[in-house]
Structure 1
């Protein structure tokens, strides 16, 4: 790392605080802008990470447990390995790190410590990919007002400000898409998404289902496709070169009761599923709102997880970018309604810029103003 690199502070606790960071990292790298991704869980000891894996399984198995866990969210200070934190702070100071883009509020106490030793002015921007405080910011409400908060979905304005993707390619025209529907439960596979699958299969919809557990894969019907993340991968894992990566994705096919796995080439195969789908069905997480806007995909929203997702759902429907599953069902699963939503998304997408471009332009302007 050098002093001009942008430090992207992510978390593996939620893919919603990891995948957007990886998209921004990819976007910046393609423009020869140095970035470095740090994942908070690498500052935990292995026992804490093991508990996270167990919690993810419990939340996936029972949505009511997940909702209760959300309400009990607290700061992560007691989970941190002080030696690992001290090493990171010293490495930032040694390298002269001054620019940070932060995807979860749980990093704030560490940044407070770095501010006290950095010896120079820091440029820190907090990414707010929800229309309300997530638990990671809510527990640090006394800290985050002192930072530069970049709200993608400002609650008082029904007009998203930006989006994040690995590129800035325009959404695929709706008529050129395959008409399939993408269904998932977020990075932890939670929510009521599984209930919709059999209902839509019976109606003849082509579905691409992202499963959390391969046991969810049904016998192949020639129409429904199943995908998932390789079980051994964690967001805090690094590859052989010591880099964080997008999750390795698999295609599952069950025939005659036998499950087979096929490794996808890379994560872009998954983003192509997004580009080509007619709609996304999931709980209203902030990263999925971002996918909806980035790729011009209508969002059919399921039961929210926590107050922030409830606000996300209200915001997205108020913008005309999504619809509740029950409402879509009551309207006869209208495809014309989805196409109308697509047109509104496309209009909004055409008047905003990629966050990476917004960030770089604003920093160039700041530099000019100081010369």
Structure 2
């Protein structure tokens, strides 16, 4: 890796700290910029990684447990395998790694150690895809203030500065879309999203549902479609070439009680679903704000998870890019507010550039 390459530091703890990193990786690779993706959990002790899966199940099963877990967030130092950390730092130093895009604050103590031994100026940008501190940054506030924090959603401006996607394709015109509504609970399948599905199905709305577990798939009604992530995949796994990948997505169909799954060709097939939908219904996570802006999708927001998502919801609504689910219900689930939101998203999207174009495709850089 040369000095112009970019090292992307992600986490599997939240797909919101993984999927945007993979989008940026794909975008930069397509423009001849070298990238290397690291997922924090690969530095954990194995037993710690194993516990993550059981934690995800507990959070999915009970939103109140998830909210409590959010409040108890702490640094991950005790989870780290010291030998793996030292090996990574040595590899970076030997390769002359100097440019970083950081998607979770839990990497900061490791970066502090690298700054002390790198022996060269470092360009380290903290990618802030929420309108408030997420737990990973909140626990390291004494560190992150000394870094270049790139806030996509600066609350005082009500004007998002950039977006991240795998390409720069323009949002699909609203009138060309299929009118389907995409519903999900984020990477951990948490929140109140499941409660909205029956209500909207009863009203005859056309839904694409992203399930956390195949058991959530209902009998096929010829209208509602179900999708999910291949169960064997996790964000810290790597392919045969040692590379991180987008989650392999599948479509589920249950007929006469029998569940079948049909793999999508690649992750772009899933982003095509997003490009083509009339709205996203989910909790207001930062990565979903990015999807809303990237693809021009009106965001119908459910109950937030933590203070950062509460601020996200307030910010997106203040910008005119989203509407709380309860308010949309009060308006009779009308198409009109969604079309108005789409127009505002399209106007904002026309004023800004892809983050990768703004920063990494340019030759100039700033240093920490």
The TM-score range, normalised by the shorter chain, is over 0.9
Tell me the equivalent position of 2:269. Answer: 269
CA distance in 2, matches of 1:209, 1:118: 46
CA distance in 1, matches of 2:4, 2:243: 19
Where do residues 233-272 of structure 1 align in structure 2 (5 Å cutoff)?
233-272=233-272
Shift of 1:187: 0.2
Tell me the equivalent position of 2:66. Answer: 66
CA distance in 2, matches of 1:60, 1:294: 27
Where do residues 1-371 of structure 1 align in structure 2 (5 Å cutoff)?
1-360=1-360, 363-366=362-365
CA distance in 2, matches of 1:101, 1:366: 12
2:359 and 2:365 in contact (8 A); partners too: no
2:163 and 2:355 in contact (8 A); partners too: yes
Displaced runs of 4 or more, over 3 A: none
Unaligned runs of 5+ in 1: none
Shift of 1:25: 0.2
CA distance in 2, matches of 1:153, 1:194: 28
CA distance in 2, matches of 1:6, 1:234: 23
CA distance in 2, matches of 1:177, 1:200: 19
- Cα deviation per residue 1:233-266 (whole Å; 9 max; x = unaligned)? 0000000000000000010000001100111110
Shift of 1:317: 0.2
CA distance in 2, matches of 1:2, 1:120: 13
CA distance in 2, matches of 1:201, 1:4: 50
For the residue of structure 2 that corresponds to 1:226, the secondary structure is: strand
- State how many pairs are aligned: 366
Distance 1:344 1:106, change over 3 A: same
Scaled by the length of structure 1, the TM-score of the pair is 0.98
For the residue of structure 2 that corresponds to 1:90, the secondary structure is: helix
- Root-mean-square deviation over aligned CA pairs: 0.8
CA distance in 2, matches of 1:364, 1:191: 42
2:10 and 2:103 in contact (8 A); partners too: yes
CA distance in 1, matches of 2:166, 2:303: 28
CA distance in 2, matches of 1:138, 1:358: 27
2:123 and 2:365 in contact (8 A); partners too: no
Shift of 1:328: 0.2
CA distance in 2, matches of 1:14, 1:146: 24
Distance 1:58 1:244, change over 3 A: same
Shift of 1:360: 2.5
CA distance in 2, matches of 1:28, 1:186: 25
CA distance in 2, matches of 1:204, 1:70: 35
Distance 1:87 1:366, change over 3 A: closer
Shift of 1:46: 1.4
Shift of 1:4: 2.6
2:171 and 2:296 in contact (8 A); partners too: yes
